Amino acid sequence: MLRIVLLIVLVFLLARGAMWMLRRLRDAYGSASVARRLIVEGRIDATAFADAAREGARRGRMSLEQRRMVREARLERRREYLDGYTPSLYQYLIIFLVASVLGLVLETIYTFLAFGIVESRVGLVWGPFSPLYGLGAVLLTMCLWEVRDRPWWQVFLMSAALGGTLEQCAGWGLEHFADAQSWTYLGLPDHITQWIAWRFLFMWGVIGLVWCRLIMPELIYRIGEPTTRKQAMVATFLAIFMVLDIAMTLACFWRAGQRHQGDPPDNGFEVYIDTHFDDAFMARTFENMRIGEDLPPAPR
């Protein structure tokens, strides 16, 4: 349990540290252009901005007061943009992709630090994606967008409830529709069901809180909307690819369960799956998953 708490603290500190470093770099080297745009927009008074330059003039860059003015004006512009705004399908797609990859990386790091295990944790047959985290990020955004400014404990509890519900539905559906298991918490003293444990509800709460307070508003603001035909075409291609990837993965798991029960293929598509996505492929790609058998209890 101590390792889990330390991991949560480490992730939080890394996120805060990364944002602090990016902010410092932007303030020190990249804010001049941002400041000019804000002055043109009338969000910063040009005279006051020039008067605040004395402190940093000798170093050839903006002073602390100027950087503060830029940050406050930019945050105000972001608040105006997000107030009354509803995220679009384009933004949800980008969030799903980013969270699927980052979630896979974090889970791989967690399993190594907590259990000393390094294995493939991917959730789709093509690409380094863990769709459970992508879906979790989309659900957190959809359900918490309108309440992101509520007290932290409300956001924490709602995030924990959403994460627990997602894990329960995903684990139950995987077992009952594909005869497969990807994780189990039955060996943990704080398990609630096979797929829910108190420690991971806590982690979902922390993740949701960090998502709402630090990541989601800035990410939605920076993603924006596609402004060129090329961006729209890339987004369409990615959406089609993800739909095909998810559909093929579901078909592969369905067929793997059928093979375990001894059922032969019924058509050419099932023959194709058995040829190119056989049991060896499934075992190699989804190392943490068992098809047709129970996972051993999770180590305490």
Task: Based on the fold, state whether residues 73 and 203 are members of the same structural domain.
Answer: no
Confidence of residue 13 (pLDDT cuts 50, 70, 90): low
Strands of the chain (E only): list them: 180-181, 290-291
The predicted structure's pLDDT at residue 115: 75
Of 19, 52, 83, the residue at which a domain comes to its end is 83
The string of pLDDT tens digits covering residues 94-148 is 999 999 998 888 888 888 887 778 788 898 999 899 998 899 999 999 999 988 8
Task: Based on the fold, state whether residues 46 and 168 are members of the same structural domain.
Answer: no
Question: Left (φ > 0), alpha (ψ -120 to 50) or beta: where does 254 sit?
Answer: alpha
The string of pLDDT tens digits covering residues 144-194 is 998 888 999 999 999 999 999 999 999 898 888 777 788 888 888 999 999
Of 52, 83, 114, the residue at which a domain comes to its end is 83
84 has a pLDDT exceeding 90:
no
Cα 233–Cα 238–Cα 242 angle in degrees, nearest 5: 150
Task: Based on the fold, state whether residues 50 and 107 are members of the same structural domain.
Answer: no
Task: Based on the fold, state whether residues 93 and 178 are members of the same structural domain.
Answer: yes
299 has a pLDDT exceeding 60:
no
Confidence of residue 6 (pLDDT cuts 50, 70, 90): very low
CA dist 214 and 181 (Å) reads 33
Residue tagged 């406050």 (tokens): 72
Q: Quote the mean pLDDT of the chain.
A: 83
**Three-class SS of residue 181?**
strand
Of 83, 118, 148, the residue at which a domain comes to its end is 83
Task: Flag whether 45 is in a domain.
Answer: yes
Lowest average pLDDT, out of 15-19, 44-48, 90-94, 190-194, goes to 15-19
